[in-house]
């Protein structure tokens, strides 16, 4: 049996082990499978995704919030243009209107 497939990871810009299967069904899952390494996917899934969900209090039952999460995932993985939202900003929530 082979060592598994490799991909040229668009996030980390190098050849790395790829995912064993698409992380979810559909076009986006297939795109991630083809272009994102296990390492980069883990960086999103095990770390930044949780931070984005918590920091912005996203409700995945709300289709707009879900789309925000998908957009952030795509930007983080370098699968689309855009900036990833800032997380862990100690100054957020400390404006005069919050006090």
Q: In the prediction, which pLDDT does 1 show?
A: 37
Question: Between 81 and 43, where is the model more confident?
Answer: 43
Question: Between 82 and 20, where is the model more confident?
Answer: 20
The number of folded domains in the chain is: 1
- Residue numbers of the domain that contains 50: 6-85
Residue/partner pairs of 28-37 with CB below 8 Å, 24 or more apart: 28/70, 28/74, 28/79, 31/79, 32/77, 32/79, 34/7, 35/7, 35/8, 35/9, 35/10, 35/77, 35/79, 36/7, 36/9, 36/10, 36/11, 36/77, 36/79, 37/7, 37/9, 37/11, 37/12
* Average confidence score pLDDT of the chain: 87
> Which tens digit of pLDDT belongs to each residue from 13-60?
999 999 999 999 999 999 999 999 999 999 999 999 999 999 999 999
Report pTM. 0.80
> Does residue 58 fall inside a structural domain?
yes
Check whether 6 has a pLDDT greater than 50.
yes
Q: In the prediction, which pLDDT does 84 show?
A: 74
CATH number at residue 34: 1.10.3880.10
């Amino acid at each position: 049996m082979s060592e598994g497939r490799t991909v040229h990871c668009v996030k980390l810009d190098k050849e790395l082990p790829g995912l064993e299967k698409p992380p979810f069904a559909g076009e986006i899952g297939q795109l991630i499978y083809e272009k994102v390494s296990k390492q980069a996917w883990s960086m999103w899934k095990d770390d930044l995704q949780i931070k984005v969900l918590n920091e912005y209090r996203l409700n995945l039952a709300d289709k707009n919030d879900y789309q925000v999460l998908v957009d952030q995932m795509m930007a983080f993985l370098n699968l689309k243009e855009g900036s990833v939202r800032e997380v862990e900003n100690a100054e957020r929530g400390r404006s005069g209107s919050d006090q």
